[in-house]
């Protein structure tokens, strides 16, 4: 029998700094997130970051936490339930980090008689720190605990027409009647090194003005290209005028070069240039989370106001929208009916 495992990033168990520390330790010790040798990663994460960040992050989590728990987890659970109500295929939910482990999610499916799994990393754009780490961990778990399972992973859906359609629709709903002057597409940042590492041609990615818009097989694994493509397709769908929107990358951690321009500086610059009304959408996240609810909706708004801006509109993530659940169910049904690669590649 076929079954589906939806996978998101995960959150700490609570906003207690101890739980936040445990979660950040697992997350940041992942060699695909901080991709340096183990000794150096341990030094950076356990010797530096975990001494100060858990308290600061816990305070940020406290500002956005809901009675039911972490928004990212609650919203992912709501999405899973909606999809389950639309399909006969068993649908489980797991997180890459934290207590809702991938192992528990796979076991839940196996307990229902599943022997063929489609994993759906809930990230529109491929990144080493997101999609790839899920795929690798699932493969490890299969080899160790579930050798009988046939597992396929849904590829990044950054350019799939159905995804672009619902994203554009969700934006149009929020932007209707709003005479904003500039729209920022804010994607989670990654270190530039991650882009070079996943360039399968070894020579295409230059992180300049042309590489990501020049056809290349490298784009299958180029997070930067995929972010730009999502923006381009949505902009075309919404008929956005050139110059009224731009891309930016948020949530930088550490001192390495990350993708540019940074979202916070972009917001500040727009305010200082006299732009009074901006809107912001965060298409690297399908569920609202710390990075959208606190970093963008709270900190971002504060930066904009301090720089002279007036109206700051945040477009919610797709979360558990009916049309988004429909799209995912459609992809699941295509996979259920025919061979995955021909159906959804
Ligand atoms: C080197 C560090 C990090 C990389 C690379 C990174 C990539 C990355 N992350 C997301 C999605 C999310 N990240 C979230 C939180 C978060 N991310 C990092 C660091 C890196 N992320 C940290 C330290 C944190 C924790 C919060 C903090 O201390 O600031 C979240 C929110 C989780 C939640 O519980 O709400 C998401 C979602 C993507 C998509 C991505 C690369 C493309
Ligand atoms: Fe992150
Ligand atoms: Fe590129």
Instruction: Inform me whether the pLDDT recorded for 345 exceeds 60.
Output: no
What average pLDDT does the structure give for the chain?
Answer: 96
Nearest-5° angle of CA 194, CA 254, CA 17?
Answer: 115
Closest ligand 1 atom number to CA of residue 23: 25
Helix axes 322-337, 71-86, angle to 10 degrees: 50
Q: Which atom of ligand 1 is nearest to the CA of 72?
A: 35
Query: For residues 278 and 308, is the Cβ–Cβ distance under 8 A?
Result: no
Asked if residue 341 has pLDDT above 90, the reply is: no
Q: How far is the CA of 188 from the centre of ligand 2 (A)?
A: 7
Q: Which residues form the pocket of ligand 1, taking CB atoms under 6 Å from any ligand atom?
A: 9, 11, 24, 33-34, 53, 57, 70, 72, 123, 127, 129-130, 188, 190, 223, 251, 253, 284-285, 289-291
User: Ligand 1, from 9, 27, 262: best to mutate by most atoms within 8 Å of Cβ?
Assistant: 9
Mean per-residue pLDDT for 191-202? 96
- Give the neighbor-by-neighbor strand order of the sheet with 116-121: 91-95, 2-8, 116-121, 150-153
pLDDT digits (tens, 9 = 90+) for 45-77: 999 999 999 999 999 999 999 999 999 999 999
CA–centroid distance, 145 to ligand 1, in Å, is 28
| Ligand 2 centroid to residue 250 C-alpha, Å | 9
Q: What is the pLDDT of residue 344?
A: 46
Find all residues with CB under 8 Å of 2, minimum gap 6, and list them: 89, 114, 116, 117, 118, 335, 336
CA 281 / ligand 2 centre spacing (Å): 16
| Of 21, 40, 43, 41, residue with least CA distance to 30 | 41
Known binder of ligand: residue 188?
yes
Residue 159 DSSP symbol? T
Using the mean position of ligand 1's atoms as its centre, give its distance from the Cα of residue 171 in Å.
23
Asked if residue 314 has pLDDT above 60, the reply is yes
Ligand nearest to C-alpha 14: 1
pLDDT at 343: 43
Residue from 33, 35, 251 whose mutation best tests the ligand 1 pocket (most atoms within 8 A of CB): 251
Mutate to test the pocket of ligand 1, among 20, 156, 188, 286 (most ligand atoms within 8 A of CB): 188
In the prediction, which pLDDT does 339 show?
Answer: 59
Residue 204 has pLDDT above 50, yes or no: yes
Token digits for 159? 């350019």
Give percent above pLDDT 90 in the chain. Answer: 97
Instruction: Name 9's Cβ contacts closer than 8 Å, sequence gap at least 6.
Output: 27, 72, 95, 96, 97, 130, 289
pTM of the model: 0.96
Where does the chain hold its CATH 3.40.50.1400 domain(s)? 2-157+322-344, 161-314
CATH topology of domain 161-314: Rossmann fold (3.40.50)
Dist. CA 180–CA 175, nearest whole Å: 8
User: Using alpha carbons only, how large is the chain's radius of gyration in Å?
Assistant: 20
State the distance from the centre of ligand 2 to the C-alpha of 270, rounded, in angstroms.
24
Cα separation of 200 and 109, whole Å? 34
Q: Which CATH number fits domain 2-157+322-344: 3.30.70.360, 3.40.630.10, 3.40.50.1400, 3.30.2310.20?
A: 3.40.50.1400
Distance, in Å, from the CA atom of 200 to the CA atom of 256, rounded to the nearest integer, reads 22
pLDDT in tens, 212-229: 999 999 999 999 999 999
pLDDT at 292: 98
Taking only the tens place, the pLDDT of each residue in 93-136 is: 999 999 999 999 999 999 999 999 999 999 999 999 999 999 99
User: What DSSP string describes 246-281?
Assistant: EEEEE---SSS-BSSSBHHHHHHHHHHTT--EEEEE
CB-based contacts of 67: which residues, under 8 Å, 6+ apart? Answer: none
Nearest ligand to the CA of 290 is 1
Distance separating alpha carbons of residues 126 and 225, to the nearest angstrom = 10
Place of tokens 């920022």: 184
Q: Could you tell which of 34, 124, 193, 253 is best to mutate to test the pocket of ligand 1, judged by most ligand atoms within 8 Å of the CB?
A: 253
Locate the DSSP E strands across the chain: 2-8, 91-95, 116-121, 150-153, 182-188, 245-250, 277-281, 311-314
Distances (CA, A) of 232 to 163, 212, 219, 315: 13, 12, 15, 17
Which residue, judged by its Cα, is nearest atom 15 of ligand 1? 291
**For residue 284, which atom of ligand 1 is closest to its CA?**
39
Residues 75 and 6: beta-carbon distance below 8 Å: no
The alpha carbon of 262 and the centre of ligand 2 are apart by a number of angstroms equal to: 14
pLDDT at 275 over 70: yes
| Band of pLDDT at residue 338, cut at 50, 70 and 90 | confident
Q: Among the bound ligands, name the one nearest to the CA of residue 223.
A: 1
Give the number of the ligand closest to the Cα of residue 225.
3
Of the listed ligands, the closest to the CA of 206 is 3
pLDDT in tens, 130-163: 999 999 999 999 999 999 999 999 999 999 999 9
């Amino acid at each position: 029998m076929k079954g589906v495992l939806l996978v998101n990033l995960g959150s700490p168990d609570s906003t207690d700094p101890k739980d936040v520390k445990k979660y950040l330790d697992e997350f940041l010790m992942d060699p695909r997130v901080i991709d340096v040798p183990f000794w150096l990663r341990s030094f950076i994460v356990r010797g530096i970051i975990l001494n100060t960040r858990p308290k600061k992050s816990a305070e940020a989590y406290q500002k956005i936490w809901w009675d039911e728990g972490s928004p990212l987890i609650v919203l992912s659970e709501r999405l899973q339930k909606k999809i389950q109500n639309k399909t006969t295929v068993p649908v489980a939910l797991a997180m890459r980090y934290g207590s809702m482990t991938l192992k528990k999610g796979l076991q839940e499916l196996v307990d229902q008689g599943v022997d063929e799994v489609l994993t759906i990393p809930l990230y529109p754009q491929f990144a080493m720190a997101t999609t790839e780490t899920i795929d690798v961990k699932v493969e490890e778990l299969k080899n160790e605990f579930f050798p009988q399972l046939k597992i396929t992973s849904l590829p990044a859906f950054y350019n799939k027409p159905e995804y672009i359609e619902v994203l554009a629709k969700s934006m149009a709903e929020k932007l209707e009647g709003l005479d904003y002057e500039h729209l920022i597409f804010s994607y989670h940042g990654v270190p530039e090194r991650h882009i070079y590492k996943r360039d399968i041609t070894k020579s295409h990615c230059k992180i300049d003005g042309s590489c990501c818009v020049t056809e290349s097989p490298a784009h299958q694994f180029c997070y930067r290209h995929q972010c730009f493509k999502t923006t381009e397709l949505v902009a075309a769908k919404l008929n956005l005028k050139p110059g009224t929107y731009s891309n930016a990358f948020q949530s930088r951690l550490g001192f390495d070069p990350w993708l540019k321009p940074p979202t916070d500086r972009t917001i500040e610059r727009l305010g200082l240039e006299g732009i009074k009304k901006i809107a912001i959408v965060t298409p690297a996240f399908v569920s609202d989370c710390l990075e959208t609810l606190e970093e963008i909706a709270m900190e971002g708004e504060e930066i904009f106001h301090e720089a002279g801006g007036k109206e700051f509109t945040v477009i919610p993530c797709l979360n558990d929208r009916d049309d988004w659940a429909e799209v995912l169910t459609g992809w699941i049904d295509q996979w259920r009916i025919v061979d995955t690669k021909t159906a959804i590649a």
